[in-house]
Amino acid sequence: MSSSSPGPADRRAEIDLDAVRSNVRHIARIASPAKVMAVVKADAYGHGAVPVARAALEAGAAWLGVAHISEAVALRDAEIDAPLLAWLHTPASDFAAGIENSVDLGVSGWELEHVVAAARALERPARIHLKIDTGLGRNGCPPEQWEALLRKAVEYQEAGLLRVVGIFSHLAVADEPERPETDDQVQRFRDAVAVAAELGVEVEVRHLANTPATLSRPDCHFDLVRVGLGIYGLSPFTDQTSDALGLRPAMTLTASVAGCKEVPAGQGVSYGFAYRTAERTTLGLIPVGYGDGVPRIATGAPVMVDDRCYPVVGRIAMDQLVIDFGVAGLADTDQSPLGHRAVLFGGNGAPSAEAWAAASHSINYEVVTRISSRVPRIYLHEAADDD
Ligand SMILES: *Cc1c(COP(=O)(O)O)cnc(C)c1O
């Protein structure tokens, strides 16, 4: 454990900003000469957008990325002035706020007219990144409309209303590196970039890769890689751990053991009595539940207390869950774990976010991102050590 860690810990998500810095440096080496965009949408996947953005920039990230303009404006309000892209809009989005705050705007089609109207009203050119749909089927311009979109953008650029700063796209199956569809997406991206070049559009950055493509496909790096999961130290691959990838999980979710009691065989545990003890045993009460973003379906997931892992038993409730220590004779002795530190997932030998993902039929992305604002974030190593 790190030296700056816990005094009494009720419930907390510890965010190790040194882990974030180390992950960013590691990814920057892999991506070089491409630059790194640290993706800090969704409050930095639950880690806290402002502190993570600062740590990522300290460690060499050149850009920041978010989904919504509102997320970008919140970073600007925190006086973060790095290049910043927001790519998911609705007709109700505040494009003017984006332009006024020097936020680059992703444009897939319809957004162009809205962005231009805002730029005209502000008398200030927008900075845009045109997005091509190379196959994912979410936003992005369909290939058959790409040339028309480029031509319109060039017209507006010549009128001084915008500058086309980038061209980008997003991958669908890069977490399964053996799948051939990524090759198709790369080819369509190259084609889209070529069409832009033919029309005389000179962009600063072409970007396609997410975390898995950054780690597994150098041919996807182009000028910039957009990395979310990796900077949080988690693996996008089912067959490779964080450790194997040289990454350190940044979030550790902990709570103090709130109760410890001995129960007889046949004791029902939690709502519905979905679990009954097989023999006399000791139960531990952990004060986190789905109100804290812990998945309700994750029964069976591991919780570590005093360096050993115990399973969550019975239903997870809004505020609490129960673990079975599997032995009698602990409660009300000096071996009682009451008040001890329980770790649900994290780094440094804790159970993994992947174990919780498996227990919840989900992915590590969701496990960390859904930890709610009810859980205080405690930042470790806020100041970068000079080393
Ligand atoms: C979320 C997101 C990313 C980051 O993906 P990771 O797999 O977490 O690296 C990159 N690009 C876009 C467009 C995204 O929405």
Give dist(CA 22, CA 254) in Å, integer. Answer: 22
The encoded tokens of residue 240 equal 């490779």
pLDDT at 7 over 70: no
Average pLDDT over residues 179-185: 96
Average pLDDT over residues 44-69: 98
Average pLDDT over residues 198-213: 97
Could you identify the atom of ligand 1 that is nearest to the CA of residue 45?
A: 8
Residue 137 identity: G
Give dist(CA 299, CA 47) in Å, integer. Answer: 24
Which residues are catalytic, by number?
A: 41, 271
Who's near 105: CB < 8 A, 6+ residues apart? Answer: 69, 85, 86, 87, 89, 95, 98, 99, 111, 115, 126, 127, 128, 129
Range 103-106, long-range pairs (CB < 8 A, 24+ positions): 103/69, 103/72, 103/73, 103/76, 103/127, 104/128, 104/129, 104/165, 104/166, 105/69, 105/129, 106/131, 106/139, 106/168
For residue range 79-116, list pLDDT tens digits in order: 999 999 999 999 999 999 999 999 999 999 999 999 99
pLDDT at 2 over 50: no
- List the one residue out of 294, 222, 284 whose CA is nearest residue 253: 294
Which residues on neighbouring strands pair with residue 268, listed in sequence order?
276
- The full set of domains in the chain, from first to last, is 33-232 (3.20.20.10), 251-380 (2.40.37.10)
Average pLDDT over residues 214-238: 98
pLDDT at 309 over 50: yes
Which residues on neighbouring strands pair with residue 205, listed in sequence order?
166
Q: How far apart are the first and last CA of the chain?
A: 20
Who's near 328: CB < 8 A, 6+ residues apart? Answer: 262, 279, 280, 281, 282
Residue 212: is the preceding peptide bond cis (ω within 30°)? no
> For the packed helices 49-58 and 17-31, what is the interaxial angle rounded to 10 degrees?
50
Ligand 1 center–CA 67 separation, angstroms: 9
Average pLDDT over residues 236-245: 97
Predicted pLDDT of residue 5:
45
Residue 133 identity: D
Ligand 1 center–CA 200 separation, angstroms: 28
Predicted pLDDT of residue 9:
60
Candidate from 68, 226, 251 with most ligand 1 atoms within 8 A of CB, to mutate: 226
Q: Ligand 1: does its nearest atom lie under 6 Å from the Cβ of 87?
A: yes
Say whether pTM exceeds 0.85. yes
pLDDT at 56 over 60: yes
Listing from the earlier edge strand, what are the strands of the sheet with 321-324? 259-263, 281-286, 321-324, 308-313, 302-305, 341-345, 251-256, 11-16, 377-380
Could you identify the atom of ligand 1 that is nearest to the CA of residue 41?
A: 1
Candidate from 39, 66, 232 with most ligand 1 atoms within 8 A of CB, to mutate: 39
Distance, CA of 349 to chain centre: 21
pLDDT at 316 over 60: yes
Predicted pLDDT of residue 385:
67
The CB density around residue 307, as the number of other CB atoms within 10 Å, is: 8
Burial class (CB in 10 A: 0-12, 13-18, 19+), 217: middle
Q: How wide is the angle at C-alpha 373 spanned by C-alphas 367 and 379, nearest 5°?
A: 85
Give dist(CA 91, CA 349) in Å, integer. Answer: 46
Ligand 1 center–CA 65 separation, angstroms: 9
Give dist(CA 53, CA 80) in Å, integer. Answer: 8
For residue range 337-372, list pLDDT tens digits in order: 999 999 999 988 999 999 999 999 999 999 999 999
Q: How wide is the angle at C-alpha 168 spanned by C-alphas 173 and 364, nearest 5°?
A: 40
For residue 384, what pLDDT band results from cuts at 50, 70 and 90?
confident
- The mean pLDDT value of the chain amounts to 96
> For the packed helices 181-198 and 143-158, what is the interaxial angle rounded to 10 degrees?
30
For residue range 144-173, list pLDDT tens digits in order: 999 999 999 999 999 999 999 999 999 999
For residue range 278-303, list pLDDT tens digits in order: 999 999 999 999 999 999 999 999 99
